[in-house]
Chains A and B, each alone.
Chain A
Amino acid sequence: GAGVSQTPSNKVTEKGKYVELRCDPISGHTALYWYRQSLGQGPEFLIYFQGTGAADDSGLPNDRFFAVRPEGSVSTLKIQRTERGDSAVYLCASSMSSGSSYNEQFFGPGTRLTVL
């Protein structure tokens, strides 16, 4: 079946602009995660959703970053007033659920964001 998909695969924008990054999780997966991977670094947790609600948004770096998942499926990561330091690969993952047992996270290919 289809895996996690992310669009666009590449996004180039100018400093100060607004961007939206989309994640389509695996069908039926209730948990969805966003990570940011800067060059030469490991993925950094941003936020995760259980259903429509953000269960943990402690990784969002500041209030320029926001994510939604209005229908409990597709999620959009929104970045306002982009800065050059926001340049990174943004990864999305989904899993069957979060909770008291292990559920593997499946990763998408990422969106490479470049802020000029």
Chain B
Amino acid sequence: AQSVTQLGSHVSVSEGALVLLRCNYSSSVPPYLFWYVQYPNQGLQLLLKYTTGATLVKGINGFEAEFKKSETSFHLTKPSAHMSDAAEYFCAVSDPNNDMRFGAGTRLTVKP
């Protein structure tokens, strides 16, 4: 079975600063990895995904993540935070049967 650990339930950055949200996974098979964003009272929106191929994946809103098999990590980054990035972010891992498991989430706060 697969699982995800998100380090840090809350992350606070200043506007314009680097965003780094950490995610480590456990999987007995080659994983598919995802980052979702959830704005208050809204549904889950896919930010980016890794399935196969290039390990550095780019998503919407300037976010990117790198799959590092040796570190079992899939950290999410954005070079410069914007106020509109404030939201809850979820890392998820799936097996090839699309059986998906989510992390507990990281709440990102962006200070002006």
Could you tell me which A residues sit within 8 Å of B by CB distance? 31, 33, 35, 40-45, 48, 55-56, 91, 95, 98-105, 107-110
| Most chain A beta-carbon contacts within 10 A, residue among B46, B99, B104 | B99
Cross-chain contact A45 with B103 (CB below 8 angstroms)? no
> Contacts A107-B44, A108-B43 given: A42-B97 contact, CB under 8 Å?
no
Complex: A48 Cα to B51 Cα, angstroms: 20
- Which A residues are CB-close (under 8 A) to B104? 41-42
CB distance from B29 to the nearest CB of A (A): 11
Cross-chain contact B43 with A109 (CB below 8 angstroms)? yes
The total number of A-B Cβ pairs within 8 Å is 56
Known: A107-B43, A109-B43. 11 other contacts (CB 8 A): A31-B98, A41-B104, A42-B6, A42-B105, A44-B102, A55-B97, A102-B96, A102-B98, A104-B46, A105-B100, A107-B44
Instruction: Report the nearest A residue to B103, measured CB to CB.
Output: A42
- Which B residues are CB-close (under 8 A) to A105? 98, 100
Cross-chain contact B46 with A43 (CB below 8 angstroms)? no
Residue B82 lies at the interface, judged by CB distance under 8 Å to chain A:
no
Cross-chain contact B97 with A98 (CB below 8 angstroms)? yes
> Contacts A33-B100, A43-B102, A56-B99 given: A102-B32 contact, CB under 8 Å?
yes
Instruction: Report the nearest B residue to A6, measured CB to CB.
Output: B43
- Which B residues are CB-close (under 8 A) to A40? 105
Name 18 A/B residue pairs within 8 A (Cβ), A-sorted: A33-B98, A33-B100, A41-B104, A42-B92, A43-B44, A45-B99, A45-B101, A45-B102, A55-B97, A91-B44, A98-B98, A100-B96, A102-B49, A102-B52, A102-B94, A105-B98, A105-B100, A109-B43
Q: Quick one: CB contact mask for B70-103 with A, threshold 8 Å, 1 for yes?
A: 0000000000000000000010101011111111
Give the 4 A-B residue pairs with the shortest CB-CB distance, closest first: A42-B102, A102-B51, A98-B98, A107-B44
Complex: A108 Cα to B38 Cα, angstroms: 12
Complex: A105 Cα to B102 Cα, angstroms: 13
State which of B43, B49, B97, B105 has its C-beta within 8 Å of the C-beta of A99.
Answer: B97
